A and B are shown apart, each in its own frame.
Chain A
Amino acid sequence: MTELNLFPLFLSLKVAGASTILAMFIGIPIAYYLSRSNGKLVDIIDTLFTLPIVLPPTVLGYYLLILLGRQSAIGKFLEGYFDFTIVFTPFGAVIAALIVSIPFLIKSARTAFASINPNIIQAARVLGRSEIDIFFTILFPMAWRGIVSGLTLAFARALGDFGATLMVAGSIPNKTMTMPIAIYDALLAGNRDLANMLVLIMTMVSILVIYVINRLEKKIVKGGI
């Protein structure tokens, strides 16, 4: 048996990790905004960020290709000024994973923010604290449980993405081939042994990751609330 190439596994973990970190910085402010206002804009943003849950990943991938591909305005700009391409690179995989996974974080964090009694926020204002200050001392800690479970879901979804990643990043071995794609690839090539092995590894890693995150979540949440 040839030596097992674990590159797809590490790539998958890296891509999911990076997209989750990005999701945290982008998703939490959006979730906070959605929980505090209720204008028309909120409905539009909400719909936009729910769409990735509903649409097939291939459709999302297709949109991303059009939006970020080398022929698109953004693609041309990045290539012309920074010599940087998104599509068919690991960075493309991160973007794809981000788009499919961020709705889970936003939903979960938004619910957590919205469930905080508004009087508690008012009390903090009356006590002389600024809005930013209140966010970090009251809102963020109180919504932490929801945020952590949102991050867990987002990471799991990013780790398992197939369609969007394949469309945007392709399946270049040792460059953009993530675990789910490698499994499909092995199956297509008729290599059942490799496919079995990869599926087993993927399952075990997933179980391990979720277990660790759950433990971590319990530990963090224990602190308060």
Chain B
Amino acid sequence: MLNVSIHKKLDHFILDTHFEIKQGITGIIGPSGCGKSLTLQSIAGLQKPSSGKVVLNNHSLFDSGNSINIKTRHRRIGYVFQNYALFPHLTVKQNIAYGLKGMKKEVIEQKVAEMIETVRLAGYEHHFPSQLSGGQQQRVALARTLVTEPELLLLDEPFSALDYHVKDILEQELLAIIRKSYSGIVLLVTHNLEEAYRLCDHIILMDKGKVIQYGSKNEILCKPANVRAAQIIGCKNIFPIDGLYQEEHLISVQIGKIRLYTHPSERLDAQFMGIHAERIRLLEAEHFDTHLLNVFDFTILEMLDGINHLNMKVQIANSDIVINVHVMKETWRILSHKKLKIQLPAGHICLLM
């Protein structure tokens, strides 16, 4: 279990993070400069918080109240840096053995050999980092860390230094290695929501030095806590609510001239509503179920051609509300010549504070 509660004041920035992680892989997401990396560095002892606590598996690593500040080298934390920070003058084998100083030579040999096997770098033992591909370098960085059996593994933007076309494969590889040979807590920093969603069990959303939401990845995605959280997870449609009404089994909200229905929620004092552009459906106007809620006529204002999606801006008829809609190209090919309506499915409308 990792318990973090830190406060750090910098010149133009205040970091004020509080969270508790039990097990598994947790991702910290947020825009650049939100304090993600600073949080990792504070946990590892590479930065000293002004005040607060860091407790890992009941060991206090930092506690300003009791003047505890364990040195980085004694924290038993693994850290994989953004650009891996491999030792350029040491071979793969020497890099991996670096953290095992003080153990018997045979033990080191054996552990390193096993780890090289795990990360599939056999045959590269005597190569220097500069002779390796990006993915191989990443595996050396991971191996170098995992071989020391840390209680907590910190990954700082592990894929940002890699080419786009190899990212997916390497993500799976990294995940497989971690799941297979590591049982501790993993904390991963990224600014990529997709990446976080694929790799993590839980997600911490950060903005301007503060944790704005913490929960399972589905919860974060479906129920962002507030407007900022919704923006960070890429919600393209956010509107102020003009009125919120509780009805029999539903809640309805007034947005300008239109009325939208959504599922019951405890957030009755919500100020905004949001819906992901991908969640909005296109229906054939001729035969659609008239019981469906939130169905509107619309006109297309703009269309942007993506690889798999069409990004459209549409205006709802008889209102000045403009909505972003992402449609699969395949779907559009079938529907484009028909008369259409759009639906904002009630289950996907989230109320925001």
**A residues lining the B interface (CB < 8 Å):** 117, 119-120, 122-130, 133, 137-138, 141-142, 223-225
Contact = CB atoms under 8 A, between A and B. Distances in A.
B98 A124 contact: yes
B72 A125 contact: yes
Interface residues of B, number: 25
B44 interface: yes
B276 to A, nearest CB: 36
B73 A224 contact: no
A117 B84 CA distance: 11
A142 B74 CA distance: 25
Contacts of A117: 83, 85
B89 A119 contact: no
Query: Which 7 residue pairs spanning A and B have beta carbons closest together?
Result: A127-B99, A224-B89, A119-B85, A123-B85, A126-B79, A125-B72, A128-B73
A199 B85 CA distance: 50
A225 B88 contact: yes
Nearest to A144: B89
B77 interface: yes
Nearest to B78: A126
9 contacts: A117-B85, A119-B81, A119-B85, A125-B46, A126-B46, A128-B74, A129-B73, A133-B101, A141-B89
A136 to B, nearest CB: 12
A122 B85 contact: yes
A190 to B, nearest CB: 56
Nearest to A123: B85
A132 to B, nearest CB: 12
A127 B89 contact: no
A133 B81 CA distance: 21
A52 to B, nearest CB: 32
B77 A126 contact: yes
B298 to A, nearest CB: 51
A117 B81 CA distance: 11
A129 B73 CA distance: 6
B83 A119 contact: yes
Nearest to A118: B85
Contact of B79 (A123, A133, A137, A142): A123
A124 B81 contact: no
Contacts of B239: none
Contacts of A223: 89
A130 B71 CA distance: 10
B76 to A, nearest CB: 8
Contacts of A128: 73-74, 99, 101, 148
B144 interface: yes
Tell me which of B73, B77, B145 has the highest count of chain A C-beta atoms within 10 A of its own C-beta. B73
A95 B147 CA distance: 50
A125 B73 CA distance: 5
Contacts of B78: 126
B81 A127 contact: no
Contacts of A129: 73, 98-99, 101
B296 interface: no
Interface in B52-91: 72-75, 77-79, 81-83, 85-90
Given A128-B74, A128-B148, A129-B73, A122 B46 contact: yes
Contacts of A138: 87
B87 A120 contact: yes
Tell me which of A125, A128, A129, A225 has the highest count of chain B C-beta atoms within 10 A of its own C-beta. A128
Interface in B160-206: none
A224 B128 CA distance: 8
A120 B82 CA distance: 11
